[in-house]
Amino acid sequence: MIEEKIKKFRKIIIYRSTHTGTKESDLLFNKIIVENIEKLDFNELKELQSLFDHFSDSEIFSMIINNKYIESRIEKIFKKLNS
């Protein structure tokens, strides 16, 4: 059951990460999120999905580029993705 939810979250996040509307965001999100999504557990995937639900792609892009995250738990997720 949990594995199905993980697969669902991954598919949603991958789609969202690769269909942002701008080439720059697509490339950055693909490099950081899509290529490393397997590193995230269920709760981290939920947090990442929530980030996409509450912030625009350009806001997320700015967070990543400027290395300034809204919350420490989001920062931890991106550090894990970049490791």
The 3-class secondary structure across 28-65, one letter per residue, is: HHHHHCHHHHHHCCHHHHHHHHHHHHHCCHHHHHHHHH
pLDDT score at 3: 93
- The structural domains of the chain, ordered by start, are 2-82 (1.10.150)
Q: Block means of pLDDT (10 residues each) for the chain, length 83 residues?
A: 92 95 95 96 95 93 90 91 88
pLDDT score at 76: 92
pLDDT score at 69: 85
pLDDT score at 70: 81
pLDDT score at 83: 83
